[in-house]
């Protein structure tokens, strides 16, 4: 495919997948329209780069859908001065989009293969990529004004919540009875709460499984 083809596909993604699904923050739309998503997918999956679908990355991981990422960012309302953490960097696409919107981005990924791809794809950006367990976030860079968990999780670990600044926001897709719901959390002092916004197909991140209660 040519660069012209990708430009056309990117514009189509904005028109048909973002603007029609509540992604109405002009800055978010502009950022997603500027970042070349094709650079963040495996070579054999390039035709899927702008599809309204999860893009398989191997080892049970997927690149999140444009709509899911767009809705999370719209609801989280990134600000130019925000210090931001991306949990589940995968190949780096969400981090690259956020780098267009905020003051600083730290992205954490635990899969060494995906981290290597992200490091190459993010070359030339201001994103700081770190490797480590997703469920632990990256405490060394805390506090963060905005944390984006780029995928679906059953719960948000306290270790990540504690990395939010006071009045900080957290965006994630929470799994409720198997359905991913775009949700926004806010921290106020020692309190933290999340509210669902809408359902959305989202990539499931490993490790974020609620401890099961004991049953006989």
pLDDT in tens, 169-204: 999 999 998 899 999 999 998 899 999 998 988 999
* Angstrom distance (rounded) from CA 193 to CA 134: 20
213 located within any domain: no
What's 186's domain CATH number?
3.40.50.150
Cβ neighbours for 97, distance < 8 A, ≥ 6 positions apart: 28, 31, 32, 35, 69, 73
Range of the domain at 80: 3-199
In a domain, 105, yes or no: yes
* Domain contains 211: no
pTM of the model: 0.93
Q: Is residue 70 part of a domain?
A: yes
Cα end-to-end span (Å), the chain: 57
Task: State the total domains in the chain.
Answer: 1
Rg, the chain, Cα only:
16
d(CA 22, CA 68): 10
pLDDT in tens, the chain (216 residues): 566 588 999 999 999 999 888 899 999 999 999 999 999 999 999 999 999 999 999 999 999 999 999 999 999 999 999 999 999 999 999 999 999 999 999 999 999 999 999 999 999 999 999 999 999 999 999 999 999 999 999 999 999 999 999 999 999 999 998 899 999 999 998 899 999 998 988 999 999 998 776 444
């Amino acid at each position: 495919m040519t660069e012209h083809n990708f430009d056309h596909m990117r514009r189509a993604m904005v028109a048909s997948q973002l603007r029609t699904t509540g992604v109405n923050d002009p800055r978010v739309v502009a950022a997603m329209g500027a970042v070349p998503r094709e650079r963040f997918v495996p070579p054999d999956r390039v035709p899927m780069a702008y599809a309204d679908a999860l893009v398989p990355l191997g080892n049970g991981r997927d690149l999140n859908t444009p709509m899911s990422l767009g809705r999370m960012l719209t609801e989280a309302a990134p600000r130019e001065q925000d210090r931001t953490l991306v949990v589940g960097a995968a190949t780096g696409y969400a981090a690259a989009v956020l780098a267009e919107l905020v003051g600083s981005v730290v992205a954490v990924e635990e899969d060494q293969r995906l981290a290597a791809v992200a490091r190459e794809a993010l070359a030339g950006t201001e994103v700081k990529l770190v490797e480590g367990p997703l469920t632990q976030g990256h405490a060394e860079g805390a506090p963060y004004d905005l944390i984006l968990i780029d995928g679906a999780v059953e719960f948000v670990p306290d270790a990540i919540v504690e990395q939010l600044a006071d009045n900080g926001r957290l965006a994630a897709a929470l799994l409720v009875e198997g359905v991913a719901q775009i949700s926004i959390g806010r921290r106020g002092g020692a309190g933290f709460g999340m509210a669902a916004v809408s359902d959305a197909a989202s990539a499931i991140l490993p490790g974020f499984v609620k401890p099961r209660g004991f049953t006989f």
